[in-house]
Amino acid sequence: MAKHTNLTGGGHASCGGELWVDVSNADRLYVNGCSGRYGPTSREELDDAAQVFRELGFEVVNYGWDDETQKPFCQYYR
């Protein structure tokens, strides 16, 4: 499994999170900013990361940002 630290060698990254490919439509991605090390620090960072995938031609479902906790919506918080 690819993990942020495997891809960066523990170095700097712009924004990390989880990404799923839709099993019924490989052009649709589900993204969030749930990363213990490289997660977004603002709604704008998460939106910008999702936009990168849109610009690559994917349909993107962004799980969004929780204004109350100031963290991305996740199944759990790290």
For residue 51, give its domain range: 14-72
Q: Specify if 55 maps to a domain.
A: yes
**Does 62 or 13 have the greater pLDDT score?**
62
Under the banding of pLDDT at 50, 70 and 90, the label for residue 52 is very high
Q: Specify if 77 maps to a domain.
A: no
Could you tell me what percentage of the chain is helix, strand and coil, using 3-state DSSP and rounding each to the nearest 5?
25, 25, 55
Q: Specify if 4 maps to a domain.
A: no
Q: Specify if 49 maps to a domain.
A: yes
Q: Specify if 43 maps to a domain.
A: yes
Residue 75: which of 41, 35, 26 has the closest Cα? 35
- Secondary structure letter of residue 47 according to DSSP: H
Under the banding of pLDDT at 50, 70 and 90, the label for residue 23 is very high
Q: Specify if 53 maps to a domain.
A: yes
Domain count, the chain: 1
Global model pTM greater than 0.85 = no
Looking up tokens 């213990």, which residue turns up?
36
Chain CA centroid to CA 36, Å? 12
69 vs 36: CA distance, rounded Å: 15
